[in-house]
Structure 1
Amino acid sequence: MKGYTRPLTLIVLVLLIDQLSKFWVKLNMTIGQDFKVLGNKFLIHFIENNGMAYGMEFGGEFGKLFLTLFRIIAVAGIGYGLHYMVKNKYHRGFVLNVALIFAGALGNIIDSTFYGILFSESTFYQKAVLFPDGGGYSSLFHGKVVDMLYFPLIEGNFPDWFPIWGGEHFLFFRPVFNIADSAISIGVFLILIFQKRYFKEEKAEKESRHSEMLED
């Protein structure tokens, strides 16, 4: 288990926070409901994602099934890659970032795979119920991903002289997301920022191991 403790701990922690927050939102909020955390700059705003990112659809029910299964296969691939990286002693920072991406992807897969059979439908007027008597709102692999983190930091109108969007309303930051999305974004961002360090040290370690083998 040497080398696996930190990645596994990080994965479990992200999944726990992600799923607890989603369960709380599903059971205590209606669709579109807001809770202000930091005034109008940070809100808990409950929406559900029916398909891909930003609420886009992907070929109806069959498309959603394909997308969910594709995500499961992709996460299995990331999990295998993570195991390989730990086993071959890749840079710890790189391994932890991949663990973040894995945990985030797995967190959203749990929603799309199981939430349809675990919860009743969330509506604008009614909160969801866990394990409803009449069954869930959908079938296995057809659940909706729960989003709730909303940061409308800057809102206003573009000046009239601004190209293309002059005079139009703008809002930054518009997307609503969840803890799992955050984990994926942070993992990817850190890999991009520190990739030279990660792979430079990895190359040096491989050369060192190769030299030791030649000496033996």
Structure 2
Amino acid sequence: MSLKKATLLIVIILLVDQISKIYIKTNFIYGEAGEIKVAEWFRIMLIENEGMAWGTVIPGEYGKLFLTIFRIFAVFGIAYWLWSSVKTKASNYLIVAISLIFAGAFGNIIDSVFYGVIFNDSFHAPATLFSENPYGTLFHGKVVDMLYFPFWSGILPEWLPIWGGKYFTFFNAIFNIADMAISTGVGILIVFNKKAFAPEKEVENQTSEV
């Protein structure tokens, strides 16, 4: 897979990710009050987080800044990994996976770096793009999440250890397109591990077969 095709894939994912986030941010109120129930198992709603994927938070005054800077360095490392993989004609599985991970990480970095200075908050009304009263500062933006798939909710049987008798929702994470890209890329590396990291001769054989 050429670097040009990998770049095109990255650009497409970034566009879909950012367009969806900007639309949700400027048309939805924060939280359950503004959610749209597409189906019992699929809802669209605006949630923001200051941490890593799936809402993990790093506490402390400088936690957010540290996380954003860490993400930026990580993206540079992923970009080099992608460039090196293309240059050495690595497996298409590997190049696609790296491209997805890069696009997802970069998409969330855009939120973290810029959203705090171009949006106001969305707690009482949809946010305004390029607001005169932004909610944060540069490098302190919040990542926009919107996709929620609560496939099942209910009280778990009492006989279950630890969680028995408690209310439980599966699947409870709220995420975005960037998170999906990262998860898909990691999934490809896990499921197609042998093909992704195949020796050079095997990669050539795969390419010739295609």
Q: Please say whether Structure 1 and Structure 2 have the same fold, judged by a TM-score greater than 0.5.
A: yes
The answer on 1:92 being equivalent to 2:99 is: no
Taking only the aligned residue pairs, the percentage that are identical comes to: 51
CA contact (8 A) 1:27 1:127 kept: yes
Does residue 147 (structure 1) correspond to residue 163 (structure 2)? The answer is no
Decide whether aligned partners of structure 1 residues 195 and 203 sit closer, same or farther in structure 2, where only a CA change above 3 A counts: farther
1:45 lines up with 2:45 in the alignment: yes
Which ranges in structure 1 are unaligned for 5 or more consecutive residues?
207-216
Count of aligned positions: 202
2-side partners of 1:205 and 1:112: how far apart? 37
**Gap runs ≥5 in structure 2:** 205-210
Is the 1:35–1:43 contact (alpha carbons within 8 Å) kept by the matching residues of 2?
yes
1:107 aligns with: 107
1:138-185 per-residue CA deviation (whole Å, 9 max, x = no partner) reads 111000000000000011111111112211111100000000000000
Maintained 8 Å contact 1:6/1:96: no
Partner of 1:159: 157
Structure with the greater alpha carbon radius of gyration? 1
Bigger mean CA deviation after superposition, 106-115 or 152-161: 152-161
Contact (CA 8 Å) 2:146, 2:175: kept in 1 or not? yes
TM-score calculated relative to the size of structure 1: 0.89
Aligned counterparts of 1:57 and 1:179: Cα–Cα separation in 2: 19
Aligned to 1:213: none
Q: Alpha carbon RMSD of aligned pairs, Å?
A: 1.6
What is the Cα deviation at residue 198 of structure 1?
Answer: 2.5
TM-score, with length taken from structure 2: 0.91
Match of 1:61 in 2: 61
Correspondence for 2:207: none
Q: Distance in 1 between matches of 2:100 and 2:57?
A: 26
Partner of 1:34: 35
CA–CA separation in structure 2 for the residues paired with 1:117 and 1:204 = 49
SS at match of 1:61: coil
